[in-house]
Structure 1
């Protein structure tokens, strides 16, 4: 990293089909000067998330990413200089830094982070991934001891934590993931009771075998056909926490699944609720203290997938969308 140059990854065009490396380009600019109320930060780790792809389609819970701008993304950064009260050089912050070495960001949009080792945990278990898993499962899914919890994209950053937290709460846990290796990892190392390989093509049947008593809580990261398979096997008064729809993000939106939803929801008195982790930030302290104690006691295993180099960010996101990662994927800038 040259101390006088700010390397940036730009989204040069919005993809209409699958995301590819040619949709991005590296560029170099000057290091920005912070204005009043801003801090200049040096980005240390960039979070890679399926949501990065959704932002290219249009506005979600944040503005859309436009062509020929720095690709948006959350990151952990170190304050270099500050024109904002409460932030000093050396402080660690989380914010929408974008895919670049340096950013000048309003202090209002930065969250001061504790110094923990390893720093990467601030993006995984103590970051958006861990908080999403915690609040989505416990506050939206509301599992009770002895219930059956199913989570899709179970080997990913959020799903791998959801399943373990459900286990800590005394539930029977079934993960849905792609490939035999991931499924074996879930049951042998993360303590899942069963795992279903959706790449086998017989998801419905495999789920029925893994959850003979039906599903009480389904944590949905993917939407589409897998949501449809789970809906049909929900128990009366089951809860579905809708976290994401990764099956719909990359490429042309699919027209399939789930069908017959309204009838099922009525007959089974299901609750299906979407959520955004920002809704729960006033309870972040309580969540972090639980997560920290579970990590310290070894009840919660943290899997991270750290890739070196800002220039590798596009390929790393494309790989994430294809399901290459185990646990939280991020870039070490």
Structure 2
């Protein structure tokens, strides 16, 4: 049995009997006017963050969500879409699709604005999505891609890139880990399915996205997630795992490399009203400007004594240099 079969079995069981301890079901739930989330959806919130960001969801986007869980994020996406088949939910586990369908019937009772037809549930694999090229505005996955081993992960990212429209965005939440893990942990199929042993460093995660062609990357949040300790896991040292929320945008790849926003900013504090670097970046006096890592390094190399360049905060919420 492959690691993907193990994953299917675990989430089949989680569909039939909600597992409150599986993944990070204690995350705060979006409180939006007129949105009521059924308790069963909250119990089946098998994710490690959120992929629902209102600024991604303007102008009635066509939305794809892969790995439907109990349907909570699909319902949240439908809140912003409110059109027939405006949100497509794809899952490889029949039982999870059926559970979500039942949960949406409950959501209809609690939310007068919601109709189950807003969500198009489809049986499908993240490695071969049942969608046409360039057909989706916003694609999302929550705590799914970390389950995949490298070749499958590359295939899943490539599929998301394929179905997105130009300038569409892939919004993700996944565990990451900066420490090395031993092979015993890496090859533990159950721990991988539980969103633990597939965690990789952020720089490797970002490189997989840019290698797939995404020209802009936004790291929107970086938060504590789990600890693997020697007493309970096959490791000689304590391993700290974080979760990150990332958006990868299908922008053209710049000639000088991707724009990666990791929460850095530049502040000009010189004698004139503003500073212009001659490359499209104008910094007004004492007004912080969000900048990508590439621009941060270029400004640092100027070695000016009237520019402050911050380190990465791992929190980016839009705007800035590009």
- The reply to whether TM is greater than 0.5 is no
Give the number of the structure with larger relative contact order, counting CA–CA contacts within 8 Å between residues 6 or more apart: 1
TM-score by length of 1: 0.35
TM-score by length of 2: 0.36
